[in-house]
């Protein structure tokens, strides 16, 4: 699923200048990308537009051949559930559910065949992130770094084509941040999804294949 942004303009209110001001890029599938830029430069805004969580004032976001602004809400739900994984700065695991139950939540809307493979996929992914022994643990009893690794597993349980990570290491200490970055890259090369990471960590950004700079509503490639 290639991502194509065409003349994107995003402005939250008429009086402010546009957060994104005529952005056009093509992001071929299967690579690793970072988006860097100062706080407030519109990184999350851009990620939300790609993730169909929000829409531009003008211009197009195309996921494969689908123009997100023209898709029905049912189509968008399916795209978000099946094609895109999301990881945020905080893990957003539900405290009353175990690790396994949290991971399986995105599988609930899916058909039976897909659900049947989900337990095996969950176990395999937990093994990849080194947390097989935490499968029945509750998030409150785990470190933030471990919870963030579970959030990564949850984001991949439906085998997305695209993983969007908004400041995924922003709440982590240096050691956990390095570990999470290594994991994201390992999983990307194994499963071959497109990885787009928003970050203000240059260390993280530099490990991605392509780095985009977002400044004053414009994007440039490093
Ligand atoms: N829902 C919103 N309503 C109004 N303004 C917003 C909204 N979301 C973000 N903004 C504004 O848009 C700008 C870019 O925000 P954001 O995309 O969160 O930047 P970044 O992620 O790079 O820190 C900021 O000035 C912010 O205040
Ligand atoms: Mg942000």
Tokens 């189509």 belong to residue? 75
Tell me the C-alpha to C-alpha distance, in Å, between residue 12 and each of 7, 55, 59, 128. Answer: 16, 11, 15, 40
42 alpha carbon to ligand 1 midpoint, in Å? 6
Joined together, the tokens standing for residue 44 give 């999350």
Nearest-5° Cα angle at 175, 172 to 181: 75
Pocket test for ligand 1, best of 9, 10, 12 (most atoms within 8 A of CB): 12
Answer whether 215 contacts ligand 1 (Cβ < 6 A). Answer: no
Residue 171 is classified by DSSP as: T
Give the C-alpha separation, 167 to 88, whole Å: 6
Give the chain's domains with CATH numbers: 31-41+72-221 (3.40.50.300)
State in Å, rounded, how far the first CA of the chain is from the last one: 23
Strand partners, 155: none
Answer whether 44 contacts ligand 1 (Cβ < 6 A). Answer: yes
Joined together, the tokens standing for residue 56 give 């531009």
Tokens 């785990």 belong to residue? 142
Q: Whose CA is nearest to atom 17 of ligand 1?
A: 42
Closest-lying ligand to the alpha carbon of 41? 1
Q: Are strands 194-198 and 32-36 parallel, antiparallel or unpaired?
A: parallel
Determine the length of the chain: 222
pLDDT of residue 110: 80
Give the C-alpha separation, 10 to 132, whole Å: 42
Closest-lying ligand to the alpha carbon of 37? 1
CB 145 within 8 A of CB 169: no
Helix (H) or strand (E) holding 121: helix 112-128
The pLDDT tens digits along the chain (222 residues) read 999 999 999 999 988 899 999 999 999 999 999 999 999 999 999 999 999 999 999 999 999 999 999 999 999 999 999 999 999 999 999 999 999 999 999 998 887 777 788 999 999 999 999 999 999 999 999 999 999 999 999 999 999 999 999 999 999 999 999 999 999 999 999 999 999 999 988 889 999 999 999 999 999 998
Model-wide pTM > 0.75: yes
pLDDT of residue 106: 93
Answer whether 168 contacts ligand 1 (Cβ < 6 A). Answer: no
Give the C-alpha separation, 89 to 30, whole Å: 23
CB 71 within 8 A of CB 80: no
Answer whether 188 contacts ligand 1 (Cβ < 6 A). Answer: no
59 alpha carbon to ligand 1 midpoint, in Å? 19
Phi, psi of 119 (to 5 degrees): -65, -45
pLDDT of residue 114: 74
Phi, psi of 59 (to 5 degrees): 90, 180
């Amino acid at each position: 699923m290639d991502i194509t942004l065409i003349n994107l303009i995003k402005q939250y209110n008429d009086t402010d200048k546009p957060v994104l001001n005529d952005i056009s890029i093509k992001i071929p599938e299967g690579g690793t990308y970072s988006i860097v830029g100062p706080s407030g430069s519109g990184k999350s805004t851009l990620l939300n537009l790609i993730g169909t969580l929000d829409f531009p004032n003008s211009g197009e976001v195309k996921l494969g051949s689908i123009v997100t602004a023209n898709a029905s809400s049912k189509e968008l739900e399916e795209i978000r559930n099946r094609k895109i994984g999301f990881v945020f700065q905080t893990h957003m695991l539900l405290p009353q559910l175990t690790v396994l139950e949290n991971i399986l939540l995105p599988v609930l809307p899916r058909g039976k065949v897909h659900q049947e493979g989900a337990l095996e996929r969950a176990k395999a992914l937990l093994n990849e992130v080194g947390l097989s022994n935490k499968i029945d643990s509750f998030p409150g009893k785990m470190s933030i770094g471990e919870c963030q690794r579970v959030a990564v597993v949850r984001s991949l349980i439906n085998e997305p084509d695209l993983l969007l990570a908004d400041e995924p290491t922003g709440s982590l200490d240096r050691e956990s941040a390095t570990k999470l970055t290594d994991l994201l890259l390992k999983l990307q090369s194994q499963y071959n999804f497109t990885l787009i990471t928003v970050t203000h960590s240059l260390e993280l950004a530099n490990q991605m294949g392509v780095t985009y700079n977002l400044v004053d509503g414009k994007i440039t490639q490093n």
